[in-house]
Every structure is written in C-alpha cells, then in structure tokens.
C-alpha cells in the first residue's frame, strides 16, 4: 500500500498517510482542512513499519561531540 505525503496549504502541517491507490485525498489532522498530496513513496512494510521514513533521512552527527569527536579515543 502506498504511503502518501501531504502538505496542508492552510496551516502548512506535513503528514503522511497510508492509503489505497484509489484514494483521492486526505484531511489535515491539525486543522481538518483538505490537504494537498505532496509526494508518494512506497512504505517499507518489511522494515517493521514502526518508524516513518523521513524525507531528510537520518541526521548527520554533529562535529565536535560524540564518537570520533576526540572524546572516545577512536579518532586520530
């Protein structure tokens, strides 16, 4: 089943919704106005479906902290 991404033109709330191919639209859960379909991606059902795919992907680690930032000893 495709996962559709919607962008509400009224309050700019972004949300995703699993719908059948024949579905025509969705209402914004925030302001309950009809939202516009932005993009569609296929849901990774085999992944477990626990987390929603992010359009920006995982955030890169911030420099200066965490692993290889000098604190853990694995860096140069």
| DSSP 8-state symbol, 48 | T
User: In sequence order, what E strands does 10-75 have?
Assistant: 14-18, 26-27, 34-42
* Binding pattern for the stretch 29-48 against Zn ion, x by CB under 5 A and - elsewhere: -xx-----------------
User: Which segment (23-31, 49-57, 58-66, 68-76) binds Zn ion by CB under 5 A?
Assistant: 23-31
For residues 56, 62, 68 and 70, what is the CA-based torsion angle, rounded to 10 degrees?
180
Scanning 8-16, 38-46, 49-57, 58-66 for contacts with Zn ion by CB under 5 A, the matching segment is: 8-16
Give the footprint of Zn ion on this chain (CB under 5 A).
8, 10-11, 13, 28, 30-31
């Amino acid at each position: 089943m495709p996962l559709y991404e919607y962008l509400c033109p009224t309050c700019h709330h972004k949300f995703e919704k699993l719908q059948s191919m024949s579905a025509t639209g969705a209402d914004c859960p925030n302001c309950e106005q009809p939202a516009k379909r932005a993009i569609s991606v296929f849901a990774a059902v085999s992944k477990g479906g626990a987390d929603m795919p992010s359009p920006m992907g995982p955030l890169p680690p911030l420099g200066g902290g965490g692993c290889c930032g000098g604190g853990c000893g694995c860096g140069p």
